[in-house]
Amino acid sequence: MMEQTLAALLNRHSQGIKHLAEPAPDDSQLALMSEAALRAPDHASLVPFRFAVVRGAARERLAQLFAQAASDAGKDAEAVAMDAQRARRAPVTVAVIARIDMGHPLVPAHEQWMAVGGALTNFLNAAHLLGFAGKMLSGRKARDPRVVAAFCGPGETLIGWIGLGTATRTPSARPSKAGVSGVLRDW
């Protein structure tokens, strides 16, 4: 069992949202992914992140926000329409929002950011182990004031979105990165 789980994690690849389709994770599967995220390295009760599921009518609202952000950035009508369509592509989209307490007396901000990264990784790994594919998306739209205001409260940072669904194609094999770039080496 352990070897199978490790093999599954080592074979996980991001899947572009244009290659995601129904079925998407249901509420119980999303809850398992969230539970896996909560198992990321943390500091007891400090949870410096939250997720917001975007589906149904909320997808259209996100599409409108993406279109407004593209228009504000000076994109032409075709590019604006393409950005709006990106918000509709993944069967389920999950916003990733960080809540970093800069003045926490015991947990410095950099440790809280590490917990956010660990939570995101655990979420994506859990999705993969449940048979779904996904991809983390961020960029300029995650910094657009209108988009940020729609997702974030005071003191929160929009990290981006996870597009989730069932893969419509097998990702091409990629060589292992282990040891190639000097990530793991003796001190």
Q: For residue 144, what are the domain limits? A: 16-54+91-167
Answer whether residue 176 is part of any domain: no
Q: How far apart are CA 141 and CA 137, in angstroms?
A: 10
Answer whether residue 45 is part of any domain: yes
Number of domains in the chain: 1
Cβ-contact 163, 17 below 8 angstroms = yes
**Residues present in the chain in total:** 187
pLDDT reported for residue 19: 73
Cβ-contact 181, 175 below 8 angstroms = no
Q: Where are the alpha helices (DSSP H) in 90-157?
A: 109-129, 145-151
Answer whether residue 111 is part of any domain: yes
CATH number of the domain encompassing residue 146: 3.40.109.10
Cβ-contact 25, 90 below 8 angstroms = no
Answer whether residue 69 is part of any domain: no
Question: Checking DSSP bridges between strand 20-21 and strand 92-99, what pairing results, if any?
Answer: unpaired
Tokens of 125: 């790994």
Answer whether residue 7 is part of any domain: no
pLDDT reported for residue 179: 54
Answer whether residue 137 is part of any domain: yes
Q: How far apart are CA 2 and CA 127, in angstroms?
A: 17
Question: pLDDT 10s per residue in the chain (187 long)?
Answer: 667 777 666 766 666 677 777 999 999 999 999 999 998 877 667 889 999 999 888 999 999 999 999 999 899 999 999 999 988 988 999 999 999 999 888 889 999 999 999 999 999 999 999 999 988 888 888 899 999 999 999 999 999 999 999 988 776 656 555 555 666 666 7
Answer whether residue 4 is part of any domain: no
If 0-12 CB within 10 Å is exposed, 13-18 middle and 19+ buried, where does residue 2 land? exposed
Answer whether residue 73 is part of any domain: no
pLDDT reported for residue 44: 63
- The predicted model scores a pTM of 0.84
Cβ-contact 148, 79 below 8 angstroms = no
